[in-house]
Amino acid sequence: MVSSNEANHLDAYSEIRLVIGDGECFYRSFIFSYLEQVIDRQDTDEEHRLLHVVERMSVQHANLGWNSEFSRTSRAFEELIEKVMRWKGTESTSSCRKEELLQFFSTYEKTQDNY
| Residue 36 pLDDT | 92
| Structure confidence by residue, pLDDT tens digits, 10-23 | 677 777 777 778 88
* 53 half-sphere exposure, CB direction, 13 A CA radius: 8
Note the Cα 35 to chain centre separation in Å. Answer: 5
Apex 29 CA angle, 24 and 35, nearest 5: 125
Residue 37 has pLDDT above 70, yes or no: yes
pLDDT digits (tens, 9 = 90+) for 51-87: 999 999 988 888 888 777 788 888 889 999 999 999 9
Domain ranges, residue 62: 4-111
Q: How many domains does the chain have?
A: 1
Do 55 and 74 touch, CB atoms closer than 8 A? no
Using a 10 angstrom Cβ sphere, with 0-12 exposed, 13-18 middle and 19 or more buried, the burial of residue 98 is: middle
